[in-house]
């Protein structure tokens, strides 16, 4: 189950402290001109060590393409790629060999597989998300006119509550927390710095807007665009919740308050549905939110147990993100791009 997608498929491999991570993109049509600088720029948005509020691990995430691209264009063949692992300090993890860190995958992987690459999270390390960035960056180049913008809309209790239409989505990348409201961004950064200084971590929410949407994406019954997005987003490490449009807020409203009334043959006055009706895109902007828990790894000691059932103390050391959401922004976008390309390809056979 290391493959995502039905027609645009990404299959991945790799542990954080192995030789390399990588993947195979399958189903990319021939003739797509590849902008390698763009792909690298997307990886740089995700890479560790990019600012004071991210982990100081310095993984130079340089992707190497091994196939499927010839003279700058895709050939229709599967696209193999790898990203070398560098700067792994595996010794940082020796003390965790037999330990189950709280709220980590250590316990569950150990029970499921009976064997575990304990170095840095192994397969369940968020380093895997670099692979998704590559798949998403090519997906974005296929989608072209579609504009996908994710941003941080809350860090802990610091919220950016404004409707995205009130925000300048063009400035998201201008601050290190990736919040389009510069004043709120400042508060978020301050809060993350404070949490970091406590050796603690904090959660947050990423919102995502997709503009220039095509009508008709999403397949009934079991591949609705909404359930597909939920699946893709809940795949991201540390995600705990997903909502589309006004989401859980809709559960509090009456139908007369919540319905999106058409204001013309193909546009609605409001967009509480978030661009999807009955599972299919209606051409309005997609809007959804993904909630992330605080990273489980703290720079504090925590009580736990080892795999023999002995009490242990998990020391707070290593290099970790105090807040994952700024680096989750490009990951949310990449996942959205892959979900949409796949839905787009599937929709080609809707009508004869």
Q: Footprint of a second copy on residues 63-92 (CB under 8 A)? A: 64-68, 70, 73-80, 82
Q: Are 69 and 62 in contact (CB under 8 A)?
A: no
Span 254-313, contacts to a second copy by CB under 8 A:
254-262, 264-266, 268, 272-274, 276-283, 291-298, 300, 302-305, 307-309
176 binds a second copy (CB under 8 A): no
| Interacting residue with a second copy among 45, 46, 57, 104 (CB under 8 A) | 104
CB closer to a second copy out of 187 and 277: 277
Site string for a second copy, 313-352 (x = CB under 8 A): --------------------------------xxxxxxxx
Q: Are 233 and 332 in contact (CB under 8 A)?
A: yes
CA atoms of 156 and 203, how far apart (whole Å): 6
CB of 348 to a second copy, least distance (A): 5
Span 192-231, contacts to a second copy by CB under 8 A:
195, 198, 200-205, 215-216, 218-224, 226-231
CB of 38 to a second copy, least distance (A): 16
Residue given tokens 């579609």 in the structure block: 146
User: Exposed, middle or buried by CB within 10 Å (0-12, 13-18, 19+), for 179?
Assistant: buried
Span 110-169, contacts to a second copy by CB under 8 A:
111-117, 122-124, 128, 142, 154, 156-157
> Distance from CA of residue 285 to its chain's centroid?
19
CB closer to a second copy out of 183 and 252: 252
Half-sphere exposure of 295 (CA within 13 A, CB side): 27
Question: For the CA atoms of 326, 104, 234, 68, what is the dihedral angle to 10 degrees?
Answer: 80
239 binds a second copy (CB under 8 A): yes
CB closer to a second copy out of 145 and 170: 145
CB closer to a second copy out of 36 and 168: 36
CA atoms of 203 and 36, how far apart (whole Å): 32
Q: Are 10 and 4 in contact (CB under 8 A)?
A: yes
Q: Are 37 and 307 in contact (CB under 8 A)?
A: no
Pick the piece of the chain touching a second copy (CB under 8 A) from 54-62, 89-97, 163-171, 251-259. 251-259
Q: Which helix (H) or strand (E) holds 277?
A: strand 276-277
CA atoms of 54 and 323, how far apart (whole Å): 7
Site string for a second copy, 27-46 (x = CB under 8 A): x-xxxx--------------
């Amino acid at each position: 189950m290391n493959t995502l997608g039905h027609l645009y498929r990404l299959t991945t491999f790799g542990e954080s402290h192995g030789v390399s991570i990588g993947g195979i993109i399958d189903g990319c049509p021939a003739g797509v001109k590849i902008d390698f600088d763009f792909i690298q720029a997307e990886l740089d948005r995700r890479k560790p060590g990019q600012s004071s509020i991210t982990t100081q691990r310095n993984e130079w995430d340089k992707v190497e393409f091994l196939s499927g691209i010839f003279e700058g264009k895709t050939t229709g063949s599967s696209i193999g790629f790898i990203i070398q692992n560098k700067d792994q300090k595996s010794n940082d993890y020796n003390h965790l060999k037999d330990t189950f860190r709280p709220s980590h995958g250590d316990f569950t992987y150990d029970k499921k597989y009976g064997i575990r690459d304990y170095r840095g999270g192994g397969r369940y390390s968020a380093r895997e998300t670099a692979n998704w960035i590559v798949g998403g960056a090519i997906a974005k180049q296929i989608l072209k006119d579609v504009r996908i913008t994710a941003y941080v809309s809350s860090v802990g209790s610091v919220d950016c509550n404004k409707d995205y239409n009130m925000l300048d989505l063009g400035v998201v990348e201008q601050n290190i927390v990736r919040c389009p409201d510069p004043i709120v961004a400042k508060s978020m950064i301050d809060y993350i710095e404070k949490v970091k200084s406590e050796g603690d971590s904090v959660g947050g929410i990423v919102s995502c807007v997709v503009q220039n949407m095509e009508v008709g994406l999403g397949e009934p019954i079991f591949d609705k665009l909404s359930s597909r997005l939920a699946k893709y987003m809940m795949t991201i490490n540390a995600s705990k919740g997903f909502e589309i449009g006004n989401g859980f807020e809709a559960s509090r409203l009456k139908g007369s308050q919540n319905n999106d009334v058409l204001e013309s043959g193909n546009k609605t006055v409001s967009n509480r549905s978030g661009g999807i009706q009955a599972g299919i895109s209606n051409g309005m902007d997609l809007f959804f939110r993904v909630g992330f828990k605080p990273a489980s790894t703290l720079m504090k000691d925590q009580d736990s147990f080892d795999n023999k059932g002995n009490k242990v103390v998990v020391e707070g050391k290593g290099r970790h993100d105090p807040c994952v959401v700024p680096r989750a922004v490009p990951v949310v976008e990449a996942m959205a791009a892959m979900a949409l390309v796949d839905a787009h390809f599937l929709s080609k056979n809707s009508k004869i």
